[in-house]
Structure 1
Amino acid sequence: MDLDLRLLIVLLPVLAAGGWAFYNVGKVALQQLQNFLNKEA
């Protein structure tokens, strides 16, 4: 059980950082997609 807890403690900040990066990149990507679709129309 100790190994599982240590693994969680190590992975939690990595997953949080990955999620934050994905959120920021996704937000910009959606804005660019909306701009592209608006220019086409």
Structure 2
Amino acid sequence: MDGIDFRVVIVLAPVIIAASWAAFNIGAAALRQIQGFLNREA
């Protein structure tokens, strides 16, 4: 068998999806917080 072992993909896919979803949501909240901080200081 040459190529990707799809069992690894099946196991890691939900973890990667969850991590990217969390990073997206946390990143959006962090950007809003930073923008609010910068607008308040100016």
2:5 paired with 1:14? no
Query: What amino acid is aligned across from residue 25 of structure 1 in structure 2?
Result: I
Aligned equivalents of 1:4, 1:37: Cα separation in 2:
47
CA offsets, 1:1-41, max 9 Å, x none?
Answer: 4x710000000010000000000000000000000000110
Structure whose residues are more often helix by fraction? 1
Provide the C-alpha distance between the structure 2 equivalents of 1:4 and 1:11, rounded to a whole number of angstroms. Answer: 11
Q: State, as a whole percentage, how many aligned pairs show the same letter.
A: 55
Backbone CA RMSD of aligned residues: 1.3
**Matched residue pairs, number?**
40
Normalising by structure 2, report the TM-score. Answer: 0.88
Mapping of 1:1-41 within 5 angstroms? 1=1, 4-41=5-42
Q: Which structure 1 residue ranges, 4+ long, deviate > 2 Å from structure 2? A: none
